[in-house]
Amino acid sequence: MKRSLVIAATALAAWILAGAAIDQGARLDRQRFAVPDAPRVVTDREGEVIQVVRGGGVDQRWVSLGAVSPHLVMALLAAEDQRFYSHRGVDLRASARAVLDAVIPWRRRTGASTITQQVIKLTHGRPSGLWSKPFEVVRALALERAVSKDEILLQYVNRVPFGHNVVGVARACEVFLGRGPGAVTLAEAALLAGLPQSPSRLDPALHLRRAVARRDRILRRMRDAGFIDERALVEALAAAPRWATGVHPRGAERFVDALLRTEPSGDGALPRGSLDAGLQREAAALMAGTVGRWRARGARNGAAVVLSNRTGEVLAYVGAADPTGPGGALDLLRAPRQPGSTLKPFVYSLLFERGATPATLLADVQVPLRGARGETAEARDYDGRERGPVRARDALASSLNLAALDAAAQVGAAAILDELRALGINVPGDARQYGPGVVLGGLDVSPLALAHAYLTLARQGSRVPLSWAARADGPTARAVMGAAGAAMTWDVLSDEAARARGFGRSLRDLAPQAPFALKTGTSSRWRDAWCAVADRRFTVLVWLGDPAGAPMAGVSGFEAAAPAAVRLLSLARESLPGWVAWDPPPARAATNDAAPVATPSLDARYAAWIERARPAHLTVTETAPSVVRVLDPQPGRTLLLAGAAGAIPLRATRCGEAEALRFMVDGAALRDAAWTAPAGSHSIVACCAARCSAPVGVTVERR
């Protein structure tokens, strides 16, 4: 064995000398050892440190060697380089052992890099190629000749990485242990010293058993090296592991990124962030638990944000509920998703501005939707029913799709898209690309943009910019929605009785302090579950789903996202009890829509529904022949068709038993109800024997 060690050491020495001879240019760059410029310290609104940022986004704070606990210094030496003070930059004994470990199959692999070599790697990097290790060794030898051991150790303790972009012992102690580097216990020091070997594999927050096993090995090495005695070893081994990950608010990295983007570049002082660190921790824990609860049904991640209605400040920002899960490295609050029904309130606000009220009747009846390529689809309510005439209050509170389509048709797609753009939502293309179906979620929206839109709705249409820095006063607002329409929409979304009629419960029990407005959304094929909730102080938005877009197993917005959003609103109320509310201007008199809906005089929108449903509460006279009507396409529509092919299905009211239905277009009879439409303006008439409908004018465009 001794002969083998001699041979290995001789071979290693020859390799080092050859590398030194070949590369005379392996010189130290003294500038690389300079203390970095002052970092940018990011704090929450109360001054609690969230992150200390240097170039490259690392969380680092430089400290003197005397400010570091001897426990931590000894633990790092035991973990990385027990003979640091006795070698000259290279540990020949450890290097020989590493060579043997590499060539003998049954031996466990060990490292041989000294702390001096690691400092070289941290400051100069390591070039690729055969001579990368000799370059590192030559520079380590040069560094040992140039400076003292304590100066090398100072570089190491301030540059060693601990994972999660945390660099150096100062911030590692503050972030992961919740105390300064001079106050850590022996057990804490050994736990922390184990991280640099493999920060992700040994992260105590994820792999506690591995981390504790590594800690215990380091403690025994400290005993074997004479750093501690047997009694200290026994006490440290018995200590329960303490890992205060809450000191570094989970998900706050994305908030810090946004704050740094909005502030001037450089290393100057930053204003206090708008974030409340306590609320951030509560929000992160709540969202992590919510994703865990729904993971079995396909919810792979989630995101949430809490905004101040008065100032637009971002008070909590969970960019990814599961940072280690799918999409966990992304800012999911900025990722566009299908919004489901969450755009409906902005359509109703426009409808109310045009003279409607929550008592206005809408047609909750099936109508064909035609896409930009001429395809036809049938929209349905979530329960498959048609309700006929329904009050706008119940339609919005129950999120009825068919009534929302009627509201959108009355408002017009162009007005809806103009409203959404004014709210800061990105809307590519023109109104013809979307049509009234945009109200059902036919437009991708990022959760952050949607939260900002609901903040504007909560402020009755006055928009303030979001702020990542703490504000003393509210900024100047800009009116982008009609105040009366927004106020009526808010009133409907705050109606607990109407919400309970639609969904079976109001969720008030989850936030009993005060009423709140709430709107949920579920995108097609259950891909996204949404909820926006707000009172006069806070606006909260929650998203759940799979960042890759895979459908969930029937996870709806009301079932999964709404309880999380309401609980988060309650947490905001508890965390910031003195938060000043945004006070609306004096509201117009509330509309009395509590009276039952009387038997209405129904127009052409209801014709097909009456024939399908035969509602008992409506009197339908059968003695006189019914009026013939064209049901689809509707008057004044522009039909966009792809290419020269494709037929448009025509629909009309049913004829009598002895009558045949036929269609005429531009005066010419069609053979069947499928019309191959040329481009241009056309007039369509439906006839039952000699009875014919009024002409319906449409325009056809082919692309």
DSSP for 225-281, please give it.
Answer: TTSS-HHHHHHHHHSPP---GGGS-TTHHHHHHHHHHHS-SSSSPPPPBS--HHHHH
SS3 at position 683? strand
Mark the ranges of the chain whose per-residue pLDDT is less than 50: 21-23, 25, 98-99, 101-103, 106-107, 109-110, 372-375, 589-590, 594-597, 599, 620-624
The answer to the question of residue 584 being in a domain is no
Are both 241 and 387 inside the same structural domain? no
Burial category of 637 from C-beta neighbours within 10 Å (exposed 0-12, middle 13-18, buried 19 and up): middle
Q: What H or E segment, with its residue span, contains residue 290?
A: helix 277-294
Does one domain contain both 602 and 625? no
Is the domain of 229 the same as that of 363?
no
CATH number at 386 reads: 3.40.710.10
Which two structure tokens, joined as six digits, stand for 505? Answer: 């419960």
Q: Are residues 349 and 224 in the same domain?
A: no
The CATH number of the domain where 679 resides is what?
2.60.40.10
* Neighbouring C-beta atoms of residue 320, cutoff 10 Å: 28
List the CATH number of the domain containing 128.
1.10.3810.10
Residue 5 token pair: 């060690």
Apex 178 CA angle, 237 and 156, nearest 5: 80
At 602 the pLDDT is 62
Q: How many domains does the chain have?
A: 3
Choosing from 221, 247, 273, the residue where a domain stops is: 247
End-to-end CA distance of the chain: 83
pLDDT of the residue at 493: 97
In a domain, 669, yes or no: yes
Last residue in a domain, options 219, 247, 275: 247
The reply to whether 70 falls in a domain is: yes
Q: What pLDDT is recorded for position 373?
A: 47
In this structure, what are the phi and psi dihedrals at residue 131, rounded to the nearest 5 degrees? -100, 15
Residue 110 pLDDT: 47
* In a shared domain, residues 599 and 636: no
List 363's β-bridge partners, or say none.
389
Are 103 and 221 in a shared domain? yes
Beta strand pairing status for 638-641 and 696-702?
parallel
Q: Which of 578, 612, 646 is the last residue of a domain?
A: 612
Largest CA distance in the chain: 115
Please identify which residue in the block is written with the tokens 């909560």: 458
Model confidence pLDDT, tens digit, residues 444-484: 999 999 999 999 999 999 999 999 999 888 788 999 999 99
According to the model, what pLDDT value does residue 636 have? 73
Dihedral pair phi/psi, residue 653, rounded to 5° = -65, 155
Per-residue pLDDT of 292-331, as tens digits, reads 999 999 999 999 999 999 999 999 999 999 988 999 989 9
Give the domain range for residue 666.
Answer: 621-702
Give a yes or no: residue 308 inside a domain.
no
Q: Reduce the DSSP state of residue 155 to 3 states and report it.
A: helix
Q: Is there a contact between 511 and 566 (Cβ–Cβ < 8 Å)?
A: yes
Segment holding 568, helix H or strand E? helix 562-575
Q: Do the domain assignments include residue 636?
A: yes
Q: Which pLDDT score is estimated for 588?
A: 53
Question: Are 635 and 607 part of one and the same domain?
Answer: no
Amino acid code (one letter) for 594: A
Instruction: Show Cβ contacts of residue 481 under 8 Å, excluding neighbours closer than 6 positions.
Output: 346, 349, 419, 422, 423, 456, 457, 460, 461
- Judge if 598 and 633 occupy the same domain: no
Q: Based on the domain organization, do 71 and 201 belong to the same domain?
A: yes
Mark whether 226 and 361 lie in a shared domain.
Answer: no
Instruction: Determine the pLDDT at residue 622.
Output: 45
Together in a domain, 687 and 599: no
Nearest partner of 167 among 57, 309, 38, 43, judged by Cα: 57
Instruction: Output the pLDDT for position 536.
Output: 96
Predicted local distance difference test score (pLDDT) of residue 5: 59
Residue 468 lies in a domain: no
Q: What share of the chain is helix, strand, coil (3-state, %, to 5)?
A: 40, 15, 45
In a domain, 557, yes or no: no
Beta pairing class for 680-688 and 59-60: unpaired
Q: Is residue 423 part of a domain?
A: yes
For residue 591, the model assigns a pLDDT of 54
Residues 169, 98 share a domain: yes
